[in-house]
């Protein structure tokens, strides 16, 4: 494995990784999208200007969930009919990673759930069961990839239109099926209130006290 730091192949800036399993990162200086291999970093693209964002969360925001602390180390930005939303890549203090969905002050924490049988497509109202929990499809969202920031656990830089299916259970659990790749991926978790995440190191805005 490559050591936890390297130099950007585009501008030479030092690149440090917070999470040992990160596959992709973005140079803070020249905005090159860098993919990590066993021996070096390869530039695969360039981040375009990111859309305006009113979220208080930023790279380096810390919080707690499920008895574990976390830090936000990466972000994928999506655009859809109602605006933009963020998927923050979380590094948990137990060595795992998760995702914090952040859309107009609504939050959900999810973790990848491999090994489940997933449908090729979904319609609103359909039901599926995973881990003895029954979920009902609530929304099917077509979105456009808008950009990336920080560290991600996979390569994600050349997408266009993507489809997400959100599902809810009667106990308040939350699930998302991500159809952005050829093989769909399931994420399981729950909706959360921001105050329960005990967030700190938030972004400040002009006019805030």
Q: Would you write out the chain's pLDDT as a tens digit for each of its 209 residues? A: 444 688 999 999 999 888 888 899 999 999 999 998 876 888 988 887 887 788 999 999 999 999 999 999 999 999 998 889 999 999 999 999 999 999 888 899 999 999 888 999 999 999 999 999 999 999 999 999 888 999 999 887 777 788 999 999 999 999 999 998 889 999 999 999 999 999 999 988 655 44
C-alpha radius of gyration, the chain, whole number? 17
pLDDT at position 208? 47
So where are the chain's domains? 5-46, 62-197
Residue 146's CB is within 10 A of a number of other CB atoms, namely: 18
pTM beyond 0.85, yes or no? yes
Strands, DSSP E only, in 58-184? 62-65, 68-80, 83-92, 97-103, 106-112, 127-130, 133-150, 161-169, 173-178
So what's the pLDDT on residue 89?
A: 98
> Which CA distances in Å does 11 have to 6, 7, 75, 121?
12, 8, 22, 43
CA distance from start to end of the chain: 45
Q: What is the pLDDT of residue 158?
A: 72
| pLDDT at 1 (0 to 100) | 46
**What integer pLDDT is reported at residue 104 of this predicted model?**
81
- Farthest CA pair distance, the chain: 52
Specify the pLDDT at position 205. 65
């Amino acid at each position: 494995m490559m050591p936890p730091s390297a130099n950007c192949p585009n501008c030479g800036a030092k690149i440090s990784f917070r999470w040992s399993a990160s596959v992709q990162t973005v140079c803070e200086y020249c905005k090159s999208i860098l993919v990590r291999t066993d021996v070096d970093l390869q530039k695969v693209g360039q981040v375009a200007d990111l859309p305006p964002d009113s979220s208080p969360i930023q790279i380096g925001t810390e919080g707690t969930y499920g008895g574990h602390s976390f830090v936000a180390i990466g972000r994928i930005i999506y655009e859809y009919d109602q605006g933009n939303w963020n998927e923050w890549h979380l590094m948990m203090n137990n060595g795992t990673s998760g995702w914090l969905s952040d859309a107009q002050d609504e939050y959900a924490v999810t973790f990848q759930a491999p090994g489940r049988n997933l449908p090729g497509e979904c319609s609103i109202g359909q039901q599926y069961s995973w881990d003895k929990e029954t979920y009902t499809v609530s929304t099917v969202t077509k979105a456009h990839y808008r950009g990336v920031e920080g560290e991600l656990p996979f390569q994600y830089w050349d997408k266009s239109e993507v489809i997400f299916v959100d599902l809810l259970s009667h106990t308040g659990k939350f699930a998302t099926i991500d159809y952005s790749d050829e093989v769909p991926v399931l994420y399981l978790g729950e909706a959360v209130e921001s105050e329960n995440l005990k967030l700190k190191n938030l972004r400040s805005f002009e006019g805030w006290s």
